[in-house]
Amino acid sequence: MASAAEQLAANLNFSAFAKAEDLKKRIWFTLGALLVYRLGTYIPMPGINPDALAQAFSGAQKGILGLFNMFAGGAVGRMAIFALGIMPYISSSIIVQLLTTVIPSLETLKKEGEQGRKIINQYTRYLTVILAVVQAYSIAVGLEAATNVVMEPGWFFRFTTTVTLTGGTMFLMWVGEQITARGIGNGTSLIIFAGIVAGLPTALAGTLELGRQGALSTGVILGVMVVVVAVIAFIVFMERAQRRLLIQYPKRQVGNRIFQGESSHLPLKLNTSGVIPPIFASSLLLIPATLSSFAASQNIGWLSTMTAMLGHGQPLYMALYAALIVFFAFFYTAIVFNPQETADNLKKHGGFIPGIRPGERTAQYIDTVLTRITVIGAGYLVLVCLLPEFLISATGVPFYLGGTSLLIVVSVTMDTVSQIQGHLLAHQYEGLVKKAKLGGKRR
């Protein structure tokens, strides 16, 4: 009986998808935009010796550059026009969001609705340009310091590299905004998702090749695969986990009819912030690590020490990564969910939590519950992102099997699928409304 019901639901979804022309256009637009992004990761910058670059990068890809290369979809290893990726835009978004809690004028703009949000987005774009220029110039200087990587070093190479990489970042920022507005899913997250997924086959082939050469035993490879599947199942379970608060509505009288009090639930996600904390934490760690790694080529002692301590898998890197994940889990949850506003809405509609007085006490109760489950959510994010790091350092499995990449891939996939289902439900609802209108006209 259950299988028949599932088959019927699948048939209904398939028929709804076949008729949802707007949804198909959005999916094709998203795929086309991601294809343009992937093509850009293979367009090399001028003036680079690819053989010398590959040799120089092979010795550094296990460090912080490996993380940078993963988020850039492999563009760093090829030094393509999209080598900076979308990270400067994410970093500027973090900085602007932090400033909105400190600067009163920005906080006022945030409360002004759509118009204020447009102005804040414009400030974010300006800051993105500044960060991209600084990082691109640092990359140009670092490339010149490497042996035989740059064919003709000089100010012209620095200028063209800075303009090229900054332009690539701004183009990706625009592509991400277009995907969000005209496609399916969050554009920025999908760009990072596409970069990670594109490298998974290569990473899997590299792991199997290490097994063939005897560097990794068959038991270790199978064990890692089991751990990956278990981590994916754990991520799905935790992302769907909710704490539901019982909401009760009193009896009400409309005319001569008395409606019984209804009850519903206020769902609070265990991980309200989603995949944002690991992405934000990684992007912030990339800024000092990138600048210090390239400036260390100038033989400055303390910069070299900083680069080594911020290397991938180092204790300082792990500690900062965990601390930033916890901070952004609480920070982003506070941004997207306002307990006081929720309590006011419940009071306005006559709803209340049994045993809790409406108004301020309800807001305090919701805030307490949200804080407790955010502690669990932040711990889950730290566990998923750091536990595989120890496995990687112990077994030498390629970095693509890390917890951060798995979390991003699974979370973005779940979010995109839920948005597709939402479009399908909206299309089915519109079809029912049209049928009802046609039936009314016929009668």
103-137 tens-digit pLDDT: 888 778 877 777 888 888 888 899 999 988 988 88
**What is the greatest pairwise CA distance in the chain?**
88
Residue 320 lies in a domain: yes
Which is it for the CA torsion 386, 388, 389, 393, positive or negative? Answer: positive
Kindly state the percentage of the chain with pLDDT values over 70: 75
Predicted TM-score (pTM) of the model is: 0.75
Burial 257-276 (b: 16+ CB within 10 A, else e): eeeeeeeeebebbbbbbbbb
Alpha helices in 275-396, H assignment, sequence order:
276-295, 301-309, 315-336, 339-348, 360-395
Q: Look at residue 160 and tell me whether its pLDDT is greater than 70.
A: yes
Q: Assign 1 a pLDDT band (cuts: 50, 70, 90).
A: very low
The residue behind tokens 């070299």 is 304
Q: Please, what is the Cα angle at 35 between 34 and 37, to 5 degrees? A: 65
Phi-psi region of 336 (alpha: psi -120 to 50; beta: other; left: phi over 0): alpha
Burial 322-332 (b: 16+ CB within 10 A, else e): bebbbebbbbb
The residue behind tokens 């390239």 is 294
Q: Highest-confidence range of 25-29, 256-260, 400-404, by mean pLDDT?
A: 25-29
Kindly state the percentage of the chain with pLDDT values over 90: 7
Least confident of 103-117, 243-257, 292-306, 369-383: 292-306
Residue 252 lies in a domain: yes
CA distance 84 to 42: 13
- For residue 179, give the nearest of 416, 441, 341, 391 by alpha carbon: 416
- For residue 12, give the nearest of 20, 24, 23 by alpha carbon: 20
Q: Which helix (H) or strand (E) holds 254?
A: strand 252-254
Give the single-character DSSP code of 183: S
What pLDDT shows up at residue 74?
66
Residue 393 lies in a domain: yes
Q: Look at residue 375 and tell me whether its pLDDT is greater than 80.
A: yes
CA distance 139 to 294: 7
* Number of domains, the chain: 1
Q: Which helix (H) or strand (E) holds 51?
A: helix 50-58
What pLDDT shows up at residue 171?
92
* Token code pair at residue 285: 């760690």
* Token code pair at residue 193: 């998702």
Average pLDDT over the chain reads 77
The answer to whether 34 and 188 have CB atoms below 8 angstroms apart is: no
Residue 388 lies in a domain: yes
The helix/strand/coil state of 96 is helix
pLDDT in tens, 179-192: 988 888 888 888 88
CA distance 283 to 271: 20
Q: Look at residue 101 and tell me whether its pLDDT is greater than 80.
A: no
The answer to whether 386 and 322 have CB atoms below 8 angstroms apart is: yes
Residue 428 lies in a domain: no
Residue 40 lies in a domain: no
Measured in whole angstroms, how far is the alpha carbon of residue 303 from the centre of its chain? 30
Higher pLDDT, 339 or 207: 339
CA distance 416 to 395: 33
The answer to whether 196 and 37 have CB atoms below 8 angstroms apart is: no
Q: Which helix (H) or strand (E) holds 25?
A: helix 21-40
Task: Indicate which CATH number applies to the domain containing 258.
Answer: 1.10.3370.10
CA distance 13 to 61: 44
- For residue 188, give the nearest of 122, 271, 94 by alpha carbon: 94
Residue 317 lies in a domain: yes
The helix/strand/coil state of 398 is coil
Which domain, by its residues, includes 289?
Answer: 217-401
Measured in whole angstroms, how far is the alpha carbon of residue 291 from the centre of its chain? 23
Least confident of 13-22, 84-93, 143-152, 195-204: 13-22
CA distance 119 to 67: 32
Q: Assign 197 a pLDDT band (cuts: 50, 70, 90).
A: confident
Residue 366 lies in a domain: yes
pLDDT in tens, 386-400: 877 777 666 655 555
HSE-CB for 13 with a 13 A CA cutoff: 12
